[in-house]
């Protein structure tokens, strides 16, 4: 199940008039399902805990390790030495994580041909077994690769800050607060979160 944007926008605007203002300001989100699941997960690992600029530089150097317009298959990733990964700016841990993901795809621990039809919980259970993949990475994968419509990444700092602005609170909300206050956004919490990120990134004022 992917996102029906028009249904999502109507539901959110009906649930809270503040979303009407955000939709008017930022227009529609552009969710585009991604077909290369290995690429999505590797990119997420590279981008973890880095500024966008730094991550983009490392990811660009990573892509240059392989032929142009050819994202590596699992074997390609496994053949690259740890030293080369470090030379392009990846930490030792991230190099390990990338190889663990490659092994999971090679050994069919992750059955990429079935992911599109699997439930969110099943995907979480399968991916979380891979060293280096945590709840945040799975949430981003579900949202931006598979475009699942009802994901709420409670561990994401940007979403927590978005809550602070949206609900006019002066504390970072915990998971219980976030889940409770997002209940009326179901079944389109993914789209609601897109607007919360925009709310923070653009320094929006009501």
Domain assignment present for residue 111? The answer is: yes
Supply the mean pLDDT for the chain: 94
Residue given tokens 């926008």 in the structure block: 9
CA distance 173 to 138: 21
The CATH number of residue 99's host domain is 1.10.340.30
For 180-203, letters b (16+ CB in 10 Å) and e give: eebeebeebbbbbbbbbbbbbeee
Q: Is the domain of 70 the same as that of 160?
A: no
What is the 3-class SS of 166-201, one letter each residue? HCCCCCCCCHHHHHHHCHHHCCCHHHHHHHHHHHHH
Average pLDDT over residues 149-167: 95
Range of the domain at 118: 37-145
Q: What pTM did the predictor assign?
A: 0.90
For the chain, the residue count is: 206
Q: Is the domain of 160 the same as that of 123?
A: no
Question: What is the tens place of the pLDDT at every residue in 39-93?
Answer: 999 999 998 888 778 999 999 999 999 998 889 999 999 999 999 999 999 999 9
Domain count, the chain: 2
Domain assignment present for residue 206? The answer is: no
Question: Of all residues in the chain, what percent are helix, strand and coil, respectively (each to 5)?
Answer: 60, 0, 40
Count the neighbouring beta carbons within 10 Å of the beta carbon of residue 119: 10
């Amino acid at each position: 199940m992917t996102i029906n944007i028009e249904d999502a926008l109507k539901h959110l605007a009906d649930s809270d008039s503040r979303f009407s203002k955000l939709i008017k300001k930022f227009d529609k989100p552009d969710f585009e399902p991604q077909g290369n699941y290995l690429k999505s997960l590797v990119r997420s690992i590279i981008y973890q805990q880095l500024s966008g600029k730094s991550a983009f530089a490392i990811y660009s150097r990573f892509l240059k390790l392989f032929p142009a317009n050819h994202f590596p298959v699992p074997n390609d990733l496994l053949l690259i030495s740890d030293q080369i990964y470090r030379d392009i700016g990846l930490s030792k841990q991230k190099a390990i994580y990338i190889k663990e993901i490659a092994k999971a795809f090679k050994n069919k621990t992750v059955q990429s041909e079935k992911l599109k039809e699997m439930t969110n919980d099943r995907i979480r259970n399968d991916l979380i077994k891979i060293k280096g993949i945590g709840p945040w990475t799975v949430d981003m994968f579900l949202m931006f690769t598979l475009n699942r419509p009802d994901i709420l990444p409670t561990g994401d700092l940007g979403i927590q800050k978005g809550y602070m602005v949206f609900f006019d609170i002066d504390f970072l909300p915990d998971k219980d607060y976030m889940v409770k206050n997002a209940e009326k956004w179901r079944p389109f919490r993914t789209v609601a979160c897109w607007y919360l990120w925009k709310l923070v990134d653009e320094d929006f004022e009501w």
